[in-house]
Amino acid sequence: MARYAITDIHGCARTFRTLVLEQLQLKKQDELYLLGDFVNKGPDSKGVIDFVLHLQKQHYQVHCLRGNHDQMLLQSASKGEAALNLSEQEKRLVLQSFDIHDFKKLPPLYANFLDSLPYYLELPDYYLVHAGFDFHQEDIFKDKDAMLNIRNYEVDWEKLSGKQLVHGHTPTPLHSIKKSASHNNSKINLDAGCVYYRNASYGNLAALDLDSKELSVQCNLDRPYFVRRKN
């Protein structure tokens, strides 16, 4: 049995499927942890969720977390497009993916999926979360906004009982992720900026083997599509 973590797929469904099926060659006894941001920015948000649901229906062990973009899309189902911090072109990609003209028409299957996502997972040796934790809080597991959005934080390892931390949310050059994994760092940011293929430092989707610390990397196969460069 292998355990893998992937994060920040952002609508790059073809890249995601290729990484899971061809590179990882995922088996039903393996565990796959997806750390949020399934949707937005990329061309096929619906396809990403469809693939996750397909794997789960086929009894693959796929465990999903909530990211800030998943939360935004969920909120848009009730509040409309004002809930989305996206460009007009990026909004159109999301609507086209779900074949809808109004975010309030997001099909219940997908809204229910997003609404079911937990904010973090605790494993025997890891904490998995989309962005991180606010370690200034007395109870770090109550601050949901931090788990979705926090950046640039120092870890209080006592509050994690000495377990390693794997997260995403902040695009990171692939060489930095490889360095963190090879050094077996206690904190690993796995977001290789897959959706930002226009940035030379990004444009990859990475899977970390949580036991061997080996990385499997798939370059973006969903291009071309409109996406703003990441500053």
The pLDDT, as a whole number, for residue 223 is 97
Q: What is the pLDDT of residues 139-157, one digit of tens each?
A: 999 999 999 999 999 999 9
| Stretch 38-60: mean pLDDT | 98
- Per-residue pLDDT, averaged over 113-119, amounts to 98
Q: How far apart are CA 167 and CA 130, in angstroms?
A: 5
Overall average pLDDT of the 103-111 stretch: 98
3-state helix, strand, coil in the chain (%, to 5): 35, 15, 50
Of 127, 1, 84, 100, which is closest to residue 46 (Cα–Cα)?
100
Return the H-helix or E-strand segment holding 127.
strand 126-129
Question: Which residue, 216, 130, 126, is CA-closest to 177?
Answer: 216
- pLDDT tens profile 205-221: 999 999 999 999 999 99
Domains detected in the chain: 3-219 (3.60.21.10)
Six-digit token pair at 94?
A: 């999301």
Q: What is the pLDDT of residues 155-190, one digit of tens each?
A: 999 999 999 999 999 999 999 999 999 999 999 999
Q: What is the pLDDT confidence band of residue 24, given thresholds at 50, 70 and 90?
A: very high
Q: Average pLDDT in the 76-85 region?
A: 96
The Cα 119–Cα 131 span in angstroms is 10
How far is 97 from 205, CA to CA, in rounded Å?
20
Q: Residue 59's pLDDT is what?
A: 98
Q: Is 222 exposed, middle or buried (0-12, 13-18, 19+ CB in 10 A)?
A: buried
pLDDT of residue 192: 98
Peptide bond into 224 cis (omega under 30): yes
Confidence check: pLDDT of 76 > 90: yes
Query: Mean pLDDT, the chain, as a whole number?
Result: 98
Q: What is the mean pLDDT of residues 70-95?
A: 97
Query: Could you tell me the end-to-end alpha-carbon distance of the chain, in angstroms, rounded to an integer?
Result: 39
pLDDT at 231: 79
* pLDDT for 9: 99
